[in-house]
Amino acid sequence: MELDIKTVTGGPLDVNTYVVGADGSNQCVLIDPGAEYAAVNGAVCGREVTAVLLTHAHFDHMLYARPWLKDGVKLYVHKLDAPALADPSLNLSGVVGAQLTLPDADVLLEEGGCVEEAGIRFDVLHTPGHTPGSVCYRHEKTLFCGDTLFYQGYGRVDLAGGNSLQMALSLKRLLKLPGDTVCYPGHGMKTKIAWEQEANA
């Protein structure tokens, strides 16, 4: 299945918000809505948003999630990051003088689970390290990897809940994926597993 992926970069920390739909579908999902509502709405282009998928529960990745959580739109997050939705000290919004909270998630994710929304099946890969509940969403050879894997880099492990050993294990796991897997990170340009395999050889 071909995916229609639109990237909107915004928010105070230049987060990549992804609007993802099956090619030709009138439905889509949002991954990490940290970019401004108006810009993301423009990329949605009138389609029905069925779900918001968080790769982790840091404020910059969910800053503009609340306006989308209406009319039955489901919120997905890993169970280990769920407490951060309502706790500014855990989602780090308190660090920047804000008090961001979201309602409870509709679906708590676990390793080996899947998300089926907007006609797309995403496999859930639990990739802790940046946060305890960081996940990647995989559809065939497309990977939405949040702040786990960047182009020639990876997410910080020195924030609350970060763990360098877990990050190393998560990266090792991702680098075993097929080399032509295209990776869409939470910040910066997209990459491929093959490029990251070479960079980490």
Question: What tokens appear for 192 in the block?
Answer: 């491929």
Domains of the chain, each with CATH number or no CATH? 3-199 (3.60.15.10)
Phi, then psi, of 15 in degrees rounded to 5: -80, 145
pLDDT at 95: 82
* Three-state DSSP state, 83: helix
Closest CA to 159 of 79, 64, 84: 84
Check residue 201 and give its pLDDT. 60
Q: What is the mean pLDDT of each run of 10 residues along the chain (201 residues)?
A: 95 97 95 98 97 98 97 97 96 90 97 97 98 98 98 94 97 97 98 92 60
pLDDT of residue 97: 83
Sheet of strand 107-109, all strands in order from the earlier edge strand to the far edge: 3-10, 15-22, 27-31, 48-53, 74-78, 107-109
Alpha-carbon gap, residue 111 to 7, rounded angstroms = 26
3-state SS, residue 142: strand
What's this model's pTM, rounded to 2 decimal places? 0.97
At 90 the pLDDT is 95
